Amino acid sequence: MFGLKKRKREKLRSKGIKPEWKEIIIKNVKFYNYLSEEMKKELHGLINIFLDEKTFEGCEGLELTDEIKITIAAQACLLLLGRQSDIYPTLRTILVYPHAYFAPLKQRMEDGSIIEGYQARLGESWSRGQVVLAWDEILQDTNDIHDGHNLVLHEFAHQLDNESGAAEGIPDFDKRSTYIVWARVLTKEYNNLISDIIHHKNPLLDQYGATNPAEFFAVATEYFFERPIELKNLHPELYGQFKNFYILDTAALMIKDKN
């Protein structure tokens, strides 16, 4: 079984992609244009595997198109470039809404009471095999790749985080030493973000990253791909950890492109 899966993946990796798919990627995944030809070829293979193994479902009447599936797959696979990965092994289904959707909310208050209702959301990532996304938000993200906001990167960063067994801002590492340095740096940066917010400073990272360590990891991932030069200049240790984890020097790619 595993041999068949491996052979099928190898075939998909070397297959290449349709010209019309590449046009969609160039249009909607602007970071693609910073990649070397070798990286682009690797990304194409990852996209083929992703589309073969994952299921897309349109919600609230949304008709799924190649543009929707290719845009999401390409952005999700950016996080896997150069890394030894099983390509989101627990993910089975991507649910795509045309716009923000309402999800059940249950919140425990300080007095012990529980408030139930619904909350508008743009995306969610579940360890049980689902990612939920709002297509209009994804399209909006494609218009500005330097604003630090990218829904797909955010939610799929949560998927990577979950691979360690818990969503706590610490993805799976092979070496304990790597884990120790990662935890030290990200804990310090997370606490600094909270401090900046309390003292009414203007941090680079979005304040949503101060919600909890898992959201900090997802937000920092967005900035690593969208505002890497600023992230490297203002948070060099944090940038260094993400560079090592993603095995990608996003700042260098953008600087090279400018030159």
* pLDDT value, residue 115: 63
Nearest to 74 by CA among 52, 49, 44: 44
Q: Where are the domains of the chain?
A: 164-259
What is the separation of C-alpha 27 from the centre of its chain, rounded to a whole number of angstroms? Answer: 19
Q: Determine which helix (DSSP H) or strand (DSSP E) holds 101, and give its type and residue range.
A: strand 101-108
Question: Which tokens belong to 163?
Answer: 């691979």
What is the separation, in whole angstroms, between the first and last Cα of the chain?
48
Contact 216, 183 (CB under 8 A): no
Torsion angles phi and psi, residue 136, rounded to 5: -65, -30
CA atoms in the 13 A half-sphere facing the CB of 15:
18
Residue 125 bridge partners (DSSP): 131
pLDDT at site 164: 72
Give the per-residue pLDDT at 112.
Answer: 62
Going 79 to 85 to 90 to 95, the CA torsion angle's sign is positive
pLDDT at 5: 86
Radius of gyration of the chain (CA): 19
CA distance 38 to 20: 20
- The per-residue pLDDT for 85 is 84
Residue with token string 């993200």? 141
- Say if residues 134 and 171 touch (Cβ distance below 8 Å): no
Question: What integer pLDDT is reported at residue 258 of this predicted model?
Answer: 60
Q: Which two tokens stand for residue 170?
A: 């610490």
- The superfamily CATH assigns to domain 164-259 is Collagenase (Catalytic Domain) (3.40.390.10)
Predicted local confidence at residue 41, as pLDDT? 96
Select from 234, 227, 222, 221 the least CA-distant residue to 253.
227
Q: Supply the pLDDT for residue 247.
A: 94
Would you state the pLDDT for residue 91?
94
Burial class (CB in 10 A: 0-12, 13-18, 19+), 171: middle
Q: Could you report the average pLDDT of every consecutive run of 10 residues in the chain (259 residues)?
A: 82 91 95 95 97 96 96 97 90 94 67 63 83 95 86 95 79 78 95 95 94 95 96 97 95 79
- 3-state helix, strand and coil shares in percent for the chain, rounded to the nearest 5: 55, 15, 30
